Structure 1
């Protein structure tokens, strides 16, 4: 397909608040979440960007906040985790919902499913659970059917992504996360930019546009709410590095 989206200009960051996805955007997607490689240049880049933007930098990820904070190790960096369910603010505050009463039952069910299939991995989160089938793509239909069946009983929503399906609290997503962060200092009052690669990032592209900013898609051309596009993780790092 023809690509109608240009790369983002270097000066797009001027006066902006910048929100970044993690896997597939700042780092390459790995076979399992624990196998991701975070090169030393990534924390250094994030630290420099945070200074450049007077703290108006945050990560918005499907990962849980504690795990992501341990990977990047950038003090004072705001992180919204689990697709907007939980937030670690730059001043150390944390917030999140009550854990669903049905989540433990759902976790047991997906663990039993994964135990019977080589290559399927369970990622338990504080307020949800994800089923990764990158190691066994043939399990996709069964994995989605199971999670859909569990969602109602657990009182949770279904979130799909690249070779993953998960349960998360209802009514939250990355667009919700961006709007929540952007309502408070130091982000409020500045044009929001969101950079992400997955279908899960589309809600954040829409939210950024609704607040006067825009989205930047990472990866091959596809139907998207983003205004700009970068080819891959290397292109993202190059673009961000040019702005420091």
Structure 2
């Protein structure tokens, strides 16, 4: 059995129980999962992630075990994650909560034209810096410096310099500086999904690894649930922690009743 390590003292008497099986008392949970760094290992480039063969089947079994109370919250485009995982019917909130994909239908706001200006500026910046990767997303543009960690400060400074004049939001994460449309995050997505019939009144658990997941941790806690940090201990709003992607898979197997 994989145990969840506490990140901080547990909440009060109304705090959510953290089950290893949905059949246990008090375990009517809704499960929210980040993708990169939580369900799959981080890779040098977004298109190099490896989705293990068992993962789609595990998510399908969780969907059944939790009676539809499962969703993915990701910074990637929702359609991209769906393509990586195959035919799944449960919700994917993509682009840090700005998109929602359910059963193949995608609801997304228009792409701000300012993102094209940001994309061009980041491409110019990266042109003479081998190893920097510019990623265009449906509602964002990201500058990855995993292969050039010495450029971290410069990448973040560029994103901040572009954000104000273009009316975009700066989103930093693990070895990435991103500009995206404002108005949504993983916390707002979790709150919206918790208002769906199948999730309303349940206890939300959100598993994530990055600073981009902190709004989701806060929203889960505010709704009577908890965040679960994946990876090394750090300052976080999550109440619990799992050591690694492998530990996440093992814990999810227990939740699915394996």
Tell me, yes or no, if the aligned pair for 1:46 and 1:74 is still in contact at 8 Å. no
Scaled by the length of structure 2, the TM-score of the pair is 0.89
Structure-2 residue corresponding to 1:5: 7
From 45, 61, 64, give the equivalent of 2:77: 64
From 15, 27, 38, give the equivalent of 2:40: 27
Tell me, yes or no, if the aligned pair for 1:50 and 1:57 is still in contact at 8 Å. yes
Structure-2 residue corresponding to 1:122: 134
What is the Cα deviation at residue 4 of structure 1? 4.9
Does the alignment pair 1:174 with 2:186? yes
Does the alignment pair 1:106 with 2:108? no
Does the alignment pair 1:86 with 2:99? yes
Count of matched residue pairs: 241
- Give the Cα–Cα distance (whole angstroms) in 2 for the partners of residues 160 and 137 of structure 1: 14
Tell me, yes or no, if the aligned pair for 2:232 and 2:243 is still in contact at 8 Å. yes
- CA RMSD of the aligned region, Å? 1.8
Extract unaligned runs of 5+ from structure 2: 9-17
Structure-1 residue corresponding to 2:222: 210
Deviates more, 1:149-158 or 1:43-52: 149-158
Q: Secondary structure at 1:10's aligned position in 2?
A: coil
- Give the Cα–Cα distance (whole angstroms) in 2 for the partners of residues 10 and 116 of structure 1: 50
- Give the Cα–Cα distance (whole angstroms) in 2 for the partners of residues 226 and 211 of structure 1: 13
Scaled by the length of structure 1, the TM-score of the pair is 0.93
Does the alignment pair 1:152 with 2:152? no
- Cα deviation digits, residues 62-99 of structure 1 (max 9, x gap): 1111111111114212101111111112x443222222
